[in-house]
Amino acid sequence: MANSKQYDIVLKNGRVIDPETYLDGTFNVGINGGQIAAVSDQPLSGKQELDVSGMIVSPGFIDLHSHGVNIASNRIQAFDGVTSALELEGGILPIGEFYDNCAKEGRPINYGASAGWASARLVTINPDQAVNGKPEPNAVPYVFNRFYIKEFTQNVATEAQLDKIIEWTEQGLKEGGIGIGVLHAYLPGAGSKELMRVWELAAKYNVPTYTHIQNVSMLDPKSGVASMLQLAGLAAATGAHTHVCHMNSVGLRDIDKFVAVVRNAQKQGVKMTTEAYTYGAGNSAIAAAEFNPDDVEMRMGVHFNDFTLVKTNTAFKNKEEFVKEMKASPGDAVIVHFLDEDNNPHDASLLDMSVLYPGGAVVTDAIPFTDEKGTWFLGDEWPLPKGLQSHPRAAGNYCHFLRRWVRERGVLSWMDAIRKCSLIPAQIIEDAAPMTKKKGRLQEGCDADIIVFDPKTVADKATFKEPCQLSEGMKHVMVNGTFLIRDEELDTKAMPGQAVRGPIRK
């Protein structure tokens, strides 16, 4: 019998996929306000009814690792299926101010952040970098552009400084930070005693640490494998949930060894999780410690012509060019190609190990777009200005995943791919942000963060040469029951994003 109730919106006759219950079939979805009110194989009546026959209807994607915490980045990610973009690896401080600013300005998609240990370290060790006595709550422009400062990146903290770093970080957790972001590779001066304090703090609040490992290197004794073993030890010693960020780009050609560390730790009951984005190329500031030009070729197994200066989209010819640019503009973004997955089958298999790791999330590590001068684009104009540059992951990561791994290669089902992009990320952070128990799922009572896409055409359009191209095939994108994208057209007035946040503690 048909349901006689009238819903605000009904999505009719779509292939509905819920990655938690493994529901997969033709159903109708009724939405009231910001929630899913019905999923039924019987007809539903709505004030608005959309026939989505032939389309997949699924939970929106939850990006655990997005540095693009601004309106422009959010909009371009929405075309890639993202309904929640969270800054967890880098984190932000002060957290309360960040959330207040986002709410005041409005956000197209859901937003959230961890407590930024790097920001805490910066204002503690280099107090002259504080803004009105505190960090600036805009992670990428604030911290990214200061990796050249040797004191906060290289110095070992004194006991008094460490107490202050922990105090700042804990305040972030009290204000609702979704765990602790640990940019260890960029701040290699932090030693094991400091990390122990950070992990003990995470355990106290039952939240994850999200860590960029210290050593992005394939060379012992300071290899990435050593860093992974350190993280496993911290997790085991403290009981803190330890999340390893972008296992693809920190693993380099040792990804198989990284996988072994995580898998064996998990078998021993250690709470470790991981993630990966879907490219064999990374993106960071040219002055980052991991790109030290004196030994980067040996450590990472690359050459200087594997690096591209983002603002000009040109490759470096040699070390001299790289060093010159590093000294002139230490905050400039560069892309480094560490795998050749398109032409080298072994490299492709390594990338698969990270992307397809069981229980691992797919993320983007999206960095905001820059103009030809290297200035971050943080405006809200739409369409975006011509000539903006970034890594293609900022616009096409998820549709790249769906196109390449599901439709073209057939190594994952739609169900399993959607699970890695929605449910698994929600489960990774649900202890720290209990509200995510209603996200990443398509069930009655869950948040109406819903994407409707064409499985025959969904694809990334962004490339390394033209990274600012919208993905295609995302027919409709709903955030909290509001259409952000309808019939592949963005509603520039829609700001339905809400905070994804941990408990606020006194």
- Block means of pLDDT (10 residues each) for the chain, 506 residues, are 82 98 98 98 97 98 96 97 98 97 97 98 97 88 89 97 98 98 96 97 98 97 97 98 98 98 98 98 93 96 97 96 94 95 97 98 96 89 93 98 98 98 98 98 98 98 97 98 98 98 94
> In sequence order, which residues have a C-beta less than 8 Å from that of residue 463 and are 6 or more positions away?
392, 469
Written as six digits, the tokens of 431 are 């202890």
Amino acid (one-letter) located at 486: R
Sort residue 488 into left (φ over 0), alpha (ψ -120 to 50) or beta: left
Q: What pLDDT, on the 0 to 100 scale, is given for residue 441?
A: 98
> In sequence order, which residues have a C-beta less than 8 Å from that of residue 133 and are 6 or more positions away?
none
Distance CA 369, CA 182 (A): 23
Distance CA 201, CA 222 (A): 26
Q: What pLDDT, on the 0 to 100 scale, is given for residue 3?
A: 65
Percent helix, strand, coil in the chain, to 5, is 35, 25, 40
Q: What pLDDT, on the 0 to 100 scale, is given for residue 141?
A: 82
Q: Which residues on neighbouring strands pair with residue 183, listed in sequence order?
A: 212
Written as six digits, the tokens of 258 are 């990284």
Residue with tokens 């004191």: 151
Q: What is the DSSP string of 465-506?
A: SS-----B-EEEEEETTEEEEETTEE-TT-----B--PPP--
Q: How far is CA 95 from CA 101, 136, 137, 403, in A?
A: 10, 10, 7, 36
Is the whole model's pTM more than 0.95, yes or no?
Answer: yes
Q: How far is CA 106 from CA 64, 384, 492, in A?
A: 20, 18, 11
Helices 95-105 and 159-174, packing angle to 10 deg: 40
Q: How far is CA 344 from CA 221, 303, 350, in A?
A: 28, 16, 10
> In sequence order, which residues have a C-beta less than 8 Å from that of residue 5 and are 6 or more positions away?
30, 38, 44, 45
> In sequence order, which residues have a C-beta less than 8 Å from that of residue 248 and are 6 or more positions away?
255, 276, 277, 279, 280, 339, 351, 354, 355
Q: Is the peptide bond between 293 and the residue preceding it cis, with omega within 30 degrees of 0? A: no
Amino acid (one-letter) located at 299: R
Q: What pLDDT, on the 0 to 100 scale, is given for residue 423?
A: 98
Reference 258, options 365, 366, 351; nearest CA is 351
**Residue 440 backbone dihedrals phi, psi, to 5 degrees:** 75, 15
Q: What pLDDT, on the 0 to 100 scale, is given for residue 1?
A: 46
- Is the separation of the CB atoms in 19 and 361 below 8 Å? no
Q: For 79-209, where are the alpha helices, taking DSSP H only?
A: 95-105, 117-125, 139, 150-154, 159-174, 192-205
DSSP state at residue 291? G
Distance CA 198, CA 180 (A): 8
- Is the separation of the CB atoms in 214 and 185 below 8 Å? yes
Q: What pLDDT, on the 0 to 100 scale, is given for residue 99?
A: 98
Question: Judging by beta carbons within 10 Å of its beta carbon (0-12, 13-18, 19+), is residue 453 exposed, middle or buried?
Answer: buried
Distance CA 156, CA 194 (A): 9
Residue with tokens 């990804």: 255
Helix H or strand E segment including 355: helix 345-355
**Residue 207 backbone dihedrals phi, psi, to 5 degrees:** -130, 160
Reference 145, options 162, 165, 129; nearest CA is 129
